[in-house]
Amino acid sequence: MGQAAARTGGPSTGRGRPHVATGPGTVARIAAERVGAQGRVVGADFSEEMIAIARAKPRTTGAAPIEYLVSPAAPLDVDDEAFDAVTCQKGLARDRVPAELRGAGCRAA
């Protein structure tokens, strides 16, 4: 499931991807491998405990660095132009989709 979430809609090598409701960082780490060392990945979760677990994991050789933020799914404090897609493996299935994420640019995989 994590592999599918990281593949959906990209990201392209060298680009970036935020992952919301990142939990322990599983999908963020897969996305970091996919975009490569020149890319950028942000993992966001409202749980400080989950972000601490994610931050404790070592960086994978050749993968993008991952910036972990304690944050709700929306709004994210990131530059919209720096990313080509947003992923969420399970978080939005558990809650209502925030208004900021509704519309043509938001799809489930």
Q: Is the pLDDT of residue 57 over 80?
A: yes
Q: Mean pLDDT across the stretch 27-55?
A: 91
Residue pointed to by tokens 């322990």: 24
Among residues 32, 87, 88, which one has the least CA distance to residue 65? 32
Establish if 103 belongs to a structural domain: no
40 found inside a domain: yes
pTM above 0.75, yes or no: no
Q: Which residue has the higher pLDDT, 75 or 5?
A: 75
For residues 53-65, give the mean pLDDT: 94
Q: Tell me how crowded residue 97 is: count the other CB atoms within 10 A of its CB.
A: 16
- Whether residue 46 is contained in a domain is answered as yes
Q: Give residue-wise pLDDT tens across range 61-97.
A: 999 999 999 988 777 777 767 676 777 776 655 455 5
**CATH number, domain with residue 26:** 3.40.50.150
pLDDT at residue 34 is higher than 50? yes
Pairwise CA distance, residues 71 & 16, whole Å: 18
- Rounded to whole angstroms, how far apart are CA atoms 100 and 40? 22
